[in-house]
Structure 1
Amino acid sequence: MSEQFRLLQSLIPAIAKVPDLHSALDLVLHRVCEVTHWDYGEAWLPTPNSHSLTCSQAWSGDPSKLQSFRHIRETLTFSPNIGLPGRVWRSKQPEWIDQTKPNRIDPDAEFTLLSATDQPQEFQAGGAIPILLDDRVLTVLTFFTRHSHPGDRQWMEWVSAIAMQLGLVMERQQLTEQLHQQQEFNQNLVETHGGFFVAIDPQGKTRMMNPRLLETLGYTLDEVRGTDFVTKFIRDVDRKPFAKLIKTREEKSELKSPTVHQTGVLTKEGQELWVEWRSQQVFKKSGELDFLFAIGRDQNEHCLTHQETARLASFPLLTPNPIVEIDLAGRVRYLNPEAMRLLPELLDSEAEHPFLAEMPSMIRLMQQQSSLRREVKIGEIVYEQVLHYVPEIECIRIYALDITDRKRAEELLLFNAFYDRLTGLANRALFMDRLQQAGRRAQPSQGENRDSPSYRFAVVLLNLNRFKVVNESLGNHLGDQVLQEFGQRLQNCLRPTDTVARLGGDEFAILLEGIQGVCDAIQVADAIEQTLTLPFNLEGRDVFMTTSIGIALNTNRDRQVLSAENILRNANTAMHRARSQGKPGYAIFDNQMLSPTVDRLQLETDMRRAIERQEFQVHYQPIVSLLTHQITGFEALLRWQHPQRGLVFPAEFIPIAEETGLIIPMGWWILREACRQLSIWQQQFQSPQPLTMNVNLSCKQFTQPDLLAQIDQILEETNIAVGSLKLEITESVVIDNPELVKDLLLELKKRQIHLCIDDFGTGYSSLSRLHNFPISTLKIDRSFISRIGALGENSEIVQAIITLARTMSMDVVAEGIELLEQVSPLVALQCHYGQGFLFSKPVDSDGAIKLLRGKSVQLERQISRSVSVKNEVKNSVSIENDIR
Structure 2
Amino acid sequence: MTSTTDPSPQRPQSGTAIDQPLPSLPVAIFQADRDGRLTAANSAFRVLALGGDVPSPRTTPWSNAHPADRHAAELAWREAVEAEGDFVVEFRVWHRDGRLLWVRVNASPVRDDLGRLEGYAGVAVDDTETVGKHLLLERLLGVVEPSADAVVILDRNGAPVYTNQTARVLFGVDDAVDLIRDPSVRSLLQTIRDQMPRELLVSSETSQWSGEVGFRGPDGLERILDVDLVIHRDHQGVIEYWGGVIRDVTARNHLQSELIRQATHDGLTGLPNRILLLRTTADALDRIRGTRGHVALLFLDLDKLKDVNDNAGHDVGDALLAQVANRVAHATRPADVIARIGGDEFVVLCNGSIDEHSALELAERIRLALSGKIMIRGVEVELTVSVGVALADSAQLEGVPSSDAALTLLRHADAAMYTAKRRGRSRVELYTEAMRAANVEQRELAAELERALANEELRLAYQPIIATHSGRVIGAEALLRWDHPTRGRLLPAQFLHLANESGAIVPIGDWVISRACQDTRAWLAAGLVEKTFSVHVNISPRQLQEGTFVERVLAVVRSMDLAPSQLTMDVDEQTLHEGQGASTRALQALRRFGVRLALDDFGVGVSSLTALRECAADVLKLDGTVARGLGANGDDDPIVRAIIQLAHALDMQVVAEWVTSADQLSRLRMLGCDMVQGYLLGEPIAAEAFAARSRRTVG
TM-score above 0.5, yes or no: yes
Q: Is 2:396 the partner of 1:396?
A: no
When residues 272 and 567 of structure 1 are mapped into structure 2, their CA distance, relative to the original with a 3 A threshold, is same
Partner of 2:130: 305
**Greater shift in the superposed pair: 816-825 or 303-312:** 303-312
When residues 585 and 356 of structure 1 are mapped into structure 2, their CA distance, relative to the original with a 3 A threshold, is same
Q: Which has the larger radius of gyration?
A: 2
Once the 2 structures are TM-superposed, how far is the Cα of residue 642 of structure 1 from its aligned partner?
A: 1.4
Which structure 2 segments of 5+ residues have no match? 1-70, 92-101, 106-125, 217-221
Partner of 1:387: 230
Which structure 1 segments of 5+ residues have no match? 1-259, 277-296, 445-452, 864-884
Once the 2 structures are TM-superposed, how far is the Cα of residue 755 of structure 1 from its aligned partner?
A: 3.7
* Distance across 1 between alignment mates of 2:332 and 2:249: 37
Q: Once the two structures are superposed, what CA deviation does each residue of 1:809-868 show, in whole Å capped at 9, x if it has no partner? A: 65444433333444444444555644333333221122123324xx73xx56xx3xxxxx
Once the 2 structures are TM-superposed, how far is the Cα of residue 652 of structure 1 from its aligned partner?
A: 2.4
* Distance across 1 between alignment mates of 2:161 and 2:428: 74
Q: Is 2:509 the partner of 1:509?
A: no
Q: Is 2:192 the partner of 1:354?
A: no
- Quick check: 1:462–1:550 contact (8 Å CA) kept in 2? yes
Secondary structure in structure 1 of the residue aligned to 2:454: helix
Once the 2 structures are TM-superposed, how far is the Cα of residue 571 of structure 1 from its aligned partner?
A: 3.0
* Amino acid across the alignment from 1:389: H
Percentage of pairs with the same residue? 26
Once the 2 structures are TM-superposed, how far is the Cα of residue 734 of structure 1 from its aligned partner?
A: 7.0
Partner of 2:156: 328
Q: Is 2:361 the partner of 1:518?
A: no
* Amino acid across the alignment from 1:708: V
Q: Is 2:390 the partner of 1:552?
A: yes
* Distance across 1 between alignment mates of 2:544 and 2:481: 21
Once the 2 structures are TM-superposed, how far is the Cα of residue 736 of structure 1 from its aligned partner?
A: 9.1
* Amino acid across the alignment from 1:513: G
* Distance across 2 between alignment mates of 1:806 and 1:478: 35
When residues 399 and 471 of structure 1 are mapped into structure 2, their CA distance, relative to the original with a 3 A threshold, is farther
- Quick check: 1:494–1:524 contact (8 Å CA) kept in 2? yes
When residues 743 and 535 of structure 1 are mapped into structure 2, their CA distance, relative to the original with a 3 A threshold, is closer
Q: How much is the aligned-residue C-alpha RMSD, in angstroms?
A: 5.0
Once the 2 structures are TM-superposed, how far is the Cα of residue 319 of structure 1 from its aligned partner?
A: 4.2
Q: Which runs of structure 2 are paired with 1:220-299 in the superposition (5 Å)?
A: 264=76, 270-274=85-89
- Quick check: 1:390–1:397 contact (8 Å CA) kept in 2? no
Q: Which runs of structure 2 are paired with 1:86-485 in the superposition (5 Å)?
A: 264=76, 270-274=85-89, 302-305=127-130, 309=134, 312=137, 318-320=145-147, 321-336=149-164, 338-343=166-171, 344=173, 345-348=178-181, 353-357=186-190, 358=193, 365=202, 367-369=204-206, 371-373=208-210, 375-379=212-216, 380-381=222-223, 382-389=225-232, 391=234, 395-405=240-250, 406-408=252-254, 431-432=277-278, 435-436=281-282, 438-444=284-290, 454-467=292-305
* Distance across 2 between alignment mates of 1:644 and 1:400: 73
Secondary structure in structure 1 of the residue aligned to 2:359: helix
- Quick check: 2:524–2:531 contact (8 Å CA) kept in 1? no
When residues 767 and 538 of structure 1 are mapped into structure 2, their CA distance, relative to the original with a 3 A threshold, is closer
Q: Which runs of structure 2 are paired with 1:629-648 in the superposition (5 Å)?
A: 629-648=471-490
Q: Which runs of structure 2 are paired with 1:792-831 in the superposition (5 Å)?
A: 795-802=637-644, 810-829=652-671, 831=673
- Quick check: 2:458–2:481 contact (8 Å CA) kept in 1? yes
- Quick check: 1:363–1:396 contact (8 Å CA) kept in 2? no
Partner of 1:500: 337
Secondary structure in structure 1 of the residue aligned to 2:489: strand
* Distance across 2 between alignment mates of 1:440 and 1:583: 33
* Amino acid across the alignment from 2:229: V
When residues 836 and 616 of structure 1 are mapped into structure 2, their CA distance, relative to the original with a 3 A threshold, is same
Q: Once the two structures are superposed, what CA deviation does each residue of 1:245-286 show, in whole Å capped at 9, x if it has no partner? A: xxxxxxxxxxxxxxx99974978982344579xxxxxxxxxx
* Amino acid across the alignment from 2:358: D
Q: Is 2:488 the partner of 1:673?
A: no
Q: Which runs of structure 2 are paired with 1:634-783 in the superposition (5 Å)?
A: 634-685=476-527, 689=531, 691-720=533-562, 723-730=565-572, 748=590, 751-763=593-605, 775-783=617-625
When residues 585 and 323 of structure 1 are mapped into structure 2, their CA distance, relative to the original with a 3 A threshold, is same
Once the 2 structures are TM-superposed, how far is the Cα of residue 671 of structure 1 from its aligned partner?
A: 2.0
* Distance across 1 between alignment mates of 2:253 and 2:379: 42
Partner of 2:31: none
Partner of 2:631: 789
- Quick check: 1:621–1:841 contact (8 Å CA) kept in 2? yes
Once the 2 structures are TM-superposed, how far is the Cα of residue 353 of structure 1 from its aligned partner?
A: 1.6
* Distance across 2 between alignment mates of 1:632 and 1:541: 47
Q: Once the two structures are superposed, what CA deviation does each residue of 1:481-521 show, in whole Å capped at 9, x if it has no partner? A: 6666655655555555x341425234222223234x43333
* Amino acid across the alignment from 1:270: G
Secondary structure in structure 2 of the residue aligned to 1:572: helix
Partner of 2:465: 623
Once the 2 structures are TM-superposed, how far is the Cα of residue 689 of structure 1 from its aligned partner?
A: 5.0
Secondary structure in structure 2 of the residue aligned to 1:401: strand
When residues 715 and 590 of structure 1 are mapped into structure 2, their CA distance, relative to the original with a 3 A threshold, is closer
Secondary structure in structure 2 of the residue aligned to 1:587: strand
* Amino acid across the alignment from 1:346: L
* Amino acid across the alignment from 2:230: L
Secondary structure in structure 2 of the residue aligned to 1:368: coil
**Greater shift in the superposed pair: 634-643 or 773-782:** 773-782
Q: Once the two structures are superposed, what CA deviation does each residue of 1:310-331 show, in whole Å capped at 9, x if it has no partner? A: 9957977824444444443444
Secondary structure in structure 2 of the residue aligned to 1:782: coil
Once the 2 structures are TM-superposed, how far is the Cα of residue 398 of structure 1 from its aligned partner?
A: 1.6
Secondary structure in structure 2 of the residue aligned to 1:548: strand
Secondary structure in structure 2 of the residue aligned to 1:596: helix
* Distance across 2 between alignment mates of 1:408 and 1:514: 35
**Greater shift in the superposed pair: 640-649 or 757-766:** 757-766
TM-score (norm 1): 0.53
Partner of 2:687: 845
* Distance across 2 between alignment mates of 1:490 and 1:412: 25
- Quick check: 1:782–1:815 contact (8 Å CA) kept in 2? yes
Q: Once the two structures are superposed, what CA deviation does each residue of 1:120-172 show, in whole Å capped at 9, x if it has no partner? A: xxxxxxxxxxxxxxxxxxxxxxxxxxxxxxxxxxxxxxxxxxxxxxxxxxxxx
- Quick check: 2:539–2:570 contact (8 Å CA) kept in 1? yes
* Amino acid across the alignment from 1:551: V
Partner of 1:84: none
When residues 402 and 537 of structure 1 are mapped into structure 2, their CA distance, relative to the original with a 3 A threshold, is farther
Partner of 1:594: 436
* Distance across 2 between alignment mates of 1:772 and 1:383: 56
When residues 298 and 484 of structure 1 are mapped into structure 2, their CA distance, relative to the original with a 3 A threshold, is farther
- Quick check: 1:458–1:513 contact (8 Å CA) kept in 2? no
When residues 270 and 525 of structure 1 are mapped into structure 2, their CA distance, relative to the original with a 3 A threshold, is same
* Distance across 1 between alignment mates of 2:315 and 2:649: 46
- Quick check: 1:418–1:429 contact (8 Å CA) kept in 2? yes
* Distance across 1 between alignment mates of 2:183 and 2:676: 104
Secondary structure in structure 1 of the residue aligned to 2:486: coil
Once the 2 structures are TM-superposed, how far is the Cα of residue 710 of structure 1 from its aligned partner?
A: 2.1
* Amino acid across the alignment from 1:303: T
* Amino acid across the alignment from 1:396: Y
- Quick check: 1:532–1:544 contact (8 Å CA) kept in 2? no
Secondary structure in structure 1 of the residue aligned to 2:453: helix
The answer to which structure, 1 or 2, has the higher relative contact order (CA under 8 A, 6+ apart) is 2
* Distance across 2 between alignment mates of 1:784 and 1:619: 25
* Distance across 1 between alignment mates of 2:437 and 2:307: 31
Once the 2 structures are TM-superposed, how far is the Cα of residue 384 of structure 1 from its aligned partner?
A: 0.6
Partner of 1:571: 413
Once the 2 structures are TM-superposed, how far is the Cα of residue 660 of structure 1 from its aligned partner?
A: 3.9
